[in-house]
Amino acid sequence: MRKFASIVAAGLLFSGVAMAKDVKIGVVLPLTGQIAAFGETSKKGLEIAYEKNHTLSNGDNIKLIYVDDRGDKVEAATAVKKLLNKDKVAVILGEVASSNSMAMAPIAEKNKTPMITHASTNPRVTKGKKYVTRACFIDPFQGAVMAKYALDNGMKKAVVVTDAKQDYSVGLSKAFKKAYTAGGGEIVKTVLINSGDKDFNAQVTAIKQANPDIIAFTGYYPEAALLVKQARDMGVKTPFIGADGVGFPELVEIAGKAAEGFMYTDHFNEAAATTPEAKEYVEAYHKKYNKAADSMGALAADAYGMILSAMEKCIKEGKASDDKECINTNLRNTKGYKGITGEITINENGDAVKSAVVNEVKDGKFIYKTTVNP
């Protein structure tokens, strides 16, 4: 009987029918630590996408291998090395924070392994890289959207709040300032904070003295929530505008009513989900988690979908689904991919060209206001 089975297996191989195999995707996320909400929501989106499709047309099975880097750039780099050397993954998906992706990118590049970040918006993540792609827009576009929205609403004087420890924040502040001043706005003061800060008394005092029309916050939600709460407690009524790093439930949970009116740019709002892909995702998300779908999960699902699309093209080309060079080429050549967060085209730098939305906190919810195209 054993001999017969061996003969059958050999016959299948020689007849051109390959045995299905596991194709591994390494996922690096901050599942614990200060920015754990980024990782948790990203994983939720990935689970939706994975449940929808985890088998390729040739029968190969996708296997996701998660590593928690705790939001730390050193651990992010260590995670990539582990995924490459021990787990032998075909693709790296992650990270969220630009600083962490920038620590990962050179390792992926050196090992000629395709890496796609779903949410790192700093241009330096992909700059000069051949194997790094992103599913999100970049900060020069996001900063310009923030600036234009403020100026269009008559806000001519701005204070910019920058997290000096985050490459994301430093780059976004630079982009906002450039677009804002080019549009006729005046930066009356730049206020520095550091990730992990809890007491913003000095910064709020400086903001009050500058008397701006708008406060442009370019950091992440933990500091945004504390800053806006303390600002309101100290009598500052100036509106805040932020970016994709602030639009998380924790903003409202921590800041409470002080978060009301906080505006921010983002990649997705389910109220603007009009395509079949987006509607299907939102429905599945509601069914599984009984809550509103957020942008981070949608971006992660899009990155996963782009990887599978690239692998399917490799199969059609007669190559292995885990051929790294083929996957990378197809990722970098993505054109008009119909994603959950919109139509995605990858340019020559590996960056996604796509639209942005502007949301606002109202009654504790993130309300869609408008869409801005590139």
DSSP of 71-97: T-HHHHHHHHHHHHHTS--SEEEE-SS
CB atoms within 10 A of CB 5: 9
State phi, psi for 219 to the nearest 5 degrees. Answer: -95, -155
Is residue 15 predicted with pLDDT exceeding 90?
no
- Three-state DSSP class for 186? strand
Is residue 17 predicted with pLDDT exceeding 50?
no
Q: Give how far the C-alpha of residue 138 lies from the chain's centroid of Cα atoms, to the nearest Å.
A: 10
- Tokens standing for 191? 């206020």
pLDDT per position as a tens digit, 183-235: 999 999 999 999 999 999 999 999 999 999 999 999 999 999 999 999 999 99
Confidence of residue 18 (pLDDT cuts 50, 70, 90): low
Is residue 284 predicted with pLDDT exceeding 60?
yes
How distant, in Å, are the alpha carbons of 177, 268, 306, 373 from that of 134?
24, 15, 10, 18
Q: Which residues contact 27 (CB under 8 A, 6 or more apart)?
A: 43, 46, 64, 65, 66, 67, 92, 93, 94
Domains in the chain (CATH in brackets) are 2-137+275-355 (3.40.50.2300), 140-266 (3.40.50.2300)
How distant, in Å, are the alpha carbons of 152, 167, 227 from that of 37?
32, 19, 18
**Peptide bond preceding 95 in cis form (omega within 30 of 0):** yes
Give the predicted TM-score (pTM) of the model: 0.89
pLDDT per position as a tens digit, 91-122: 999 999 999 999 999 999 999 999 999 999 99
pLDDT per position as a tens digit, 293-329: 999 999 999 999 999 999 999 999 999 999 999 999 9
Output the pLDDT for position 16: 43
CB atoms within 10 A of CB 203: 20
